[in-house]
Amino acid sequence: MSKALPEYPGKEALILTVEYPPGGADPIHRHDAHGFVYVLEGNIVMGVAGGREVTLGPGEAFHEGPEDLHTVGRNASSTKPARFVVFLLKDADKPAVLPPH
């Protein structure tokens, strides 16, 4: 779901569900957005440059800011999938995922 935010011209909220297969991971990337992750199923490992890695389970959340480089995003399990919701508050004209600078 994507929704323009008229009170904040040029901004939008984007909500999506991501599934990591067993052993799955994201490449290093950035969002240029406030990103909130909420784990639905399984366990994931998240981290940004300069921060520590955290392992999250169902009901736990993670935040990354517009200046953060998302260096770690992976399934903590090599045998079970993991699913989570991502909520991004971003510029409407930018893609949700961007390559590292």
Q: Residue 39: its pLDDT value, please? A: 98
pLDDT confidence of residue 101: 78
Question: Residue 93 corresponds to which tokens in the numbers above?
Answer: 């004209």
Helix or strand holding residue 71 (H, E):
strand 69-75
Task: Express each pLDDT in 59-95 by its tens digit.
Answer: 999 999 999 999 999 999 999 999 999 999 999 999 9
Contact 83, 18 (CB under 8 A): yes
Please choose, from the candidates 92, 101, 31, the residue with its C-alpha nearest in 3D space to the C-alpha of residue 66: 31
Q: What is the rounded CA–CA span in Å between residue 35 and residue 78?
A: 25
User: What CA–CA distance (Å, rounded) separates 39 from 2?
Assistant: 20
